[in-house]
């Protein structure tokens, strides 16, 4: 593909713009019980029959633990200048707790990875938590449902990471998508730790309360970790710390109906402002959430509110698609977490939300993406780091020439990265990074190995998990060479 559609955007992005790939430890590392690593809730989930679409697990994943040097070299050939990855908490502290021993082999693995990246001119962005609570803490006290016990355990884990990796790491993210962790794990019950009100699916849980308790724990824990970093480590290490939130654009189903306009805004508040308002705007949850949820939504103490507000130095943004949202006249269901709306794939005029990928919820929608960048910037006015964005493509079952020349994914990147550059140049939005999801095909949580998001095809059946570069990796390289100011 050529760069015609972005020809007028040459040099639109700042000269220190970060671009690369994002991954998560549980999805790529493998070596699930190697060199002292303890089990996480995702190891347990993957080993539970019937939980994962293709009955797979991440015991080996793509063997990034074994092949990280080769992978960093491949990344370098893709022209990236940054790489976002997560640490496995149970690889560093196998039992997870504040008084539990540190696994030196786990620490050394991440130190070696950071060195390998830096030696290749790639800046590490490190995520402390990407959904994999140590199973020992889940067994001990219920993980994030117990805020009082969870916070000191996580803060100690963070301290170990800052002490041992912080001298060479300048970019820290505390939690990845706290909302998705809460909703998929505790409302729908389709992710670890697999809790919900739906007894045909989960033995335990309460979808009407637990997601909001867990979300609150994540926000307050983030506040404590940010305070620790900024007071103890930042003066010497000179790094930055923030959080990454998920959120897709909600577009009114009938753009001329004020009720649908309100419903779309409410949907954005339930999905995004749930976390972003306490962090960047008010120190409290949106009024629309309180109105619907009442006391099922936890309340911040004055101390917690002060701790959380202003605790993230940037807006970490994960986003993929757009949905059409219609108002509902009936009262909300007790297990509703979307703001009492109806979600559609087409609007009132029959217009589709976008071209289909290989993942039912994900359609290509760059117009909504640009609107969302503006919405976040206008509401919060903090620098945006895009920490995840990407797509699957239909028919990627073998590394054939047709699959490796992945025009669908290239079209996706053209629309989204181009839209990002226009948001910077034409709308004045402050955006400082773009991390594509993802570097290689990986173990995509409950979808197993069926969802291929990678710019590198993986032969999962081969012992070496053989890598085959897709054309989209080189397209992204050319795109950023054009867009980033010299």
Query: What is the set of active-site residues?
Result: 177, 388
DSSP-derived 3-state class of residue 270: helix
Q: Which two tokens stand for residue 244?
A: 């990454």
User: Of 66, 125, 10, nearest to 422 (Cα)?
Assistant: 10
How close are the terminal C-alpha atoms of the chain, in Å? Answer: 23
Of 413, 401, 429, which is closest to residue 320 (Cα–Cα)? 413
- DSSP letter string over 176-236? E-HHHHHHHHHTS--STT---S-TTT-SS--TTTHHHHHHHHHHHHHHHHHHHIIIIIHHH
Closest among 71, 170, 174 to 125, alpha carbons compared: 170
Q: Name residue, tokens 């219609």.
A: 326
Of 162, 273, 296, which Cα lies nearest the Cα of 219?
273
455: closest CA among 475, 433, 438, 432?
438
The sign of the torsion formed by the CA atoms of 342, 347, 350, 354 equals: negative
What DSSP line would sit under 49-106, residue for residue? TTSSTTS--SSSTT-HHHHHHHHHHHHHHTT-SEEEEE--HHHHSTT-STTSPP-HHH
Overall residue count recorded for the chain in this entry: 486
CA distance 373 to 190: 29
What are the distances in angstroms from CA 221 to CA 18, 53, 167, 308, 450?
Answer: 27, 32, 23, 9, 33
Contact by Cβ (8 Å): 366, 420: no
Rounded Cα distance, 304 and 311, in Å: 11
403 phi-psi bin (left φ>0, alpha ψ -120 to 50, beta other): alpha
Q: Which two tokens stand for residue 160?
A: 């170990």
Integer Cα distance of 269 and 271 in angstroms: 5
Q: Coil, helix or strand for 250?
A: strand
Tabulate helix, strand, coil % of the chain (nearest 5): 45, 15, 40
Q: Is residue 293 within a helix (H) or strand (E), and if so which, with residue range?
A: helix 287-293
Strand 384-389 and strand 341-344: the pairing is unpaired
Which single residue is written with the structure tokens 């307050």? 220
């Amino acid at each position: 593909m050529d760069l015609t559609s972005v020809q007028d955007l040459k040099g639109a992005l700042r000269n220190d713009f970060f671009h690369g790939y994002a991954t998560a430890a549980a999805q790529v590392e493998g070596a699930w019980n190697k060199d002292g690593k303890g089990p996480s809730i995702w190891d347990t989930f993957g080993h539970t029959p019937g939980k994962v679409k293709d009955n797979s697990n991440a015991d080996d994943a793509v063997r990034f633990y074994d092949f990280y040097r080769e992978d960093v070299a491949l990344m370098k050939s893709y022209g990236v200048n940054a790489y976002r990855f997560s640490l496995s908490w149970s690889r560093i502290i196998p039992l997870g707790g504040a008084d539990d021993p540190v696994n030196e082999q786990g620490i050394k693995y991440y130190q070696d990875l950071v060195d390998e990246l830096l030696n290749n001119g790639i800046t590490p962005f490190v995520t402390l938590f990407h959904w994999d609570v140590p199973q020992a803490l889940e067994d001990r006290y219920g993980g994030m449902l117990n805020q009082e016990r969870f916070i000191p355990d996580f803060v100690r884990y963070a301290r170990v990471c800052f002490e041992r990796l912080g001298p060479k790491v300048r970019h820290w993210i505390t939690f990845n998508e706290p909302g998705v962790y809460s909703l998929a794990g505790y409302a729908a019950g389709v992710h670890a730790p697999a809790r919900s009100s739906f007894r045909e699916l989960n033995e335990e849980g309460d979808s009407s309360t637990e997601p909001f308790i867990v979300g609150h724990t994540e926000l307050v824990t983030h506040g404590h970790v940010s305070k620790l970093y900024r007071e103890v480590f930042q003066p010497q290490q000179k790094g930055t710390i923030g959080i990454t939130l998920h959120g897709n654009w909600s577009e009114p189903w009938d753009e001329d109906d004020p009720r649908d306009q309100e419903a779309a805004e409410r949907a954005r508040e339930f999905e995004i402002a749930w976390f972003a308002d306490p962090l960047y705007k008010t120190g409290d949850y949106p009024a629309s959430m309180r109105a619907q949820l009442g006391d099922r939504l936890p309340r911040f103490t004055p101390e917690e509110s002060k701790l959380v507000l202003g605790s993230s130095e940037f807006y970490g943004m994960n986003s993929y698609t757009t949905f059409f949202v219609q108002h509902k006249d009936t009262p909300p269901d007790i297990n509703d977490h979307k703001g009492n709306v109806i979600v559609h794939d087409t609007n009132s005029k029959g217009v589709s939300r976008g071209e289909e990928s290989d993942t039912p919820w994900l359609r290509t929608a760059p117009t909504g993406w640009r609107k969302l960048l503006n919405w976040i910037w206008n509401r919060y006015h903090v620098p945006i780091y895009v920490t995840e964005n990407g797509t699957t493509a239909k028919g990627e079952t073998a590394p054939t020439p047709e699959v490796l020349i992945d025009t669908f994914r290239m079209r996706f990147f053209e629309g989204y990265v181009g839209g990002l550059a226009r948001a910077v140049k034409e709308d004045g939005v402050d955006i400082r990074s773009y991390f594509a999801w993802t570097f290689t095909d990986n173990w995509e949580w409950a979808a197993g190995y069926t969802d291929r998001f990678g710019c590198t095809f993986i032969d999962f059946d081969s012992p070496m998990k053989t890598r085959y570069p897709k054309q989209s990796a080189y397209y992204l390289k050319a795109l950023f060479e054009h867009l980033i100011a010299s």
